[in-house]
């Protein structure tokens, strides 16, 4: 009788232990699922914000371009030749300043596209590109902010054909500094993404060499 009682006790303990393990596994799986879902929500939210900022900056830029064209058209109404030349030179100078920022943004956009292409290529080969993706996401945010600042500078320069006031000159200098810093931050983030890809490739190669070596030893 005691023998059967002992076995029964053991079975009860085993079932209890298995049930506890099952509950723990279920709990961990639930936490992982919630964490993944939260990450997806944050990713979607960030993407939506980037799209919103992109549309806003594009609208502001188009409006500023139209205003700049309107200002150029008004120069033709100026009867004083000297004043007309001064105003024309002012418009040209403002446009060239903005073109420099546009070229910098285009350069960073092209670099980002090349990095993304490399990420896609390496991910298809089973290489961990999570860190690189994080840096690219950071670069996209900085680049989006730079575009918004450029649109603000555009709007400021297109507001009037007259010489900028002291206040607006200060605003423009601040915007120019912010744009330069954001472009620099974008470049740094993309460089970090490239470094992350190089590290990931090296880790993959080292893991493959180790596996091959262990296989040869076992044989």
| Predicted TM-score (pTM) of this structure | 0.69
> Which among 60, 52, 58, 49 has a CA at the least distance from the CA of 152?
60
Looking at residue 48, its pLDDT comes to 64
* pLDDT for position 9: 47
φ, ψ (nearest 5 deg) of residue 76: -65, -20
2's tokens:
């005691």
CA-CA-CA-CA torsion sign (189, 190, 191, 193) = positive
Return the structure tokens found at 90.
Answer: 């002012």
Q: How many domains does the chain divide into?
A: 1
**Domain interval for residue 211:** 2-218
Q: Round to whole Å and give the CA distance between 80 and 77.
A: 9
Signed CA dihedral, 209, 215, 217, 219: sign only:
negative
Per-residue pLDDT of the chain (219 residues; tens, 9 = 90+): 544 455 444 444 545 555 555 565 556 666 666 665 665 665 566 566 666 666 666 676 677 677 777 777 777 776 777 877 877 887 888 888 888 888 999 999 999 999 999 999 999 989 899 999 999 999 999 999 999 899 888 888 887 778 888 898 899 999 999 999 999 999 999 999 999 999 999 988 887 766 666 555 455
Contact by Cβ (8 Å): 148, 64: no
């Amino acid at each position: 009788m005691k023998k059967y009682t002992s076995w029964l006790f053991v079975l009860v303990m085993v079932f209890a232990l298995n049930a506890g393990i099952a509950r723990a596994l279920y709990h961990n799986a639930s936490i992982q699922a919630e964490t993944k879902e939260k990450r997806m929500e944050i990713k979607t939210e960030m993407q939506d914000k980037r799209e919103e900022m992109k549309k806003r900056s594009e609208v502001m830029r188009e409006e500023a371009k139209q205003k700049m064209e309107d200002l150029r058209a008004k120069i033709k109404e100026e009867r004083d030749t000297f004043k007309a030349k001064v105003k024309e030179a002012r418009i040209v100078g403002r446009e060239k300043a903005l073109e420099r920022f546009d070229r910098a943004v285009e350069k960073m956009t092209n670099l980002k596209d090349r990095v993304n292409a490399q990420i896609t290529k390496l991910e298809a080969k089973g290489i961990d590109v999570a860190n690189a993706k994080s840096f690219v996401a950071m670069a996209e945010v900085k680049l989006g902010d730079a575009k918004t600042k450029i649109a603000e500078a555009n709007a400021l320069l297109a507001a009037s054909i007259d010489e900028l006031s002291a206040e607006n000159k200060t605003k423009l200098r601040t915007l120019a500094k912010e744009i330069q810093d954001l472009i620099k931050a974008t470049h740094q983030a993309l460089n970090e993404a490239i470094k992350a890809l190089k590290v990931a490739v090296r880790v993959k190669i080292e893991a493959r060499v180790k596996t091959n070596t262990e296989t040869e030893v076992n044989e």
